[in-house]
Amino acid sequence: MTEQQPKTPQIIDIVEMPPTQNGSQTPDTAQIEDILQMAAQMVDIQPLKRALGGNIYLELTEWNGSKRVDLRFWKDATVPTKEGVSLHLDQWKALCNMSDVIDDLLTRVIEKEPVEWRYHIGNDVFVTIKAPFPFVHIRKHFIPADEWTYRPTKRGVALHFGEWKELKQIIPLLEEREPELRQLVPLYRTDL
DSSP output for 66-125? EEEEEEEEEETTTEEEEEEEEEEHHHHHHHHHTHHHHHHHHHHHHTT---EEEEEEETTE
Burial class (CB within 10 angstroms; exposed 0-12, middle 13-18, buried 19+) of 147:
exposed
- What is the model's pLDDT at position 181? 84
Domain spanning 48-183: which superfamily? Transcriptional Coactivator Pc4; Chain A (2.30.31.10)
Give the tens place of pLDDT for each residue, 24-59: 666 667 777 777 666 655 555 566 899 999 899 999
Show me where the domains of the chain are located: 12-45, 48-183
Kindly report the CA angle at 85 between 81 and 87, in degrees rounded to 5?
130
- What is the model's pLDDT at position 31? 72
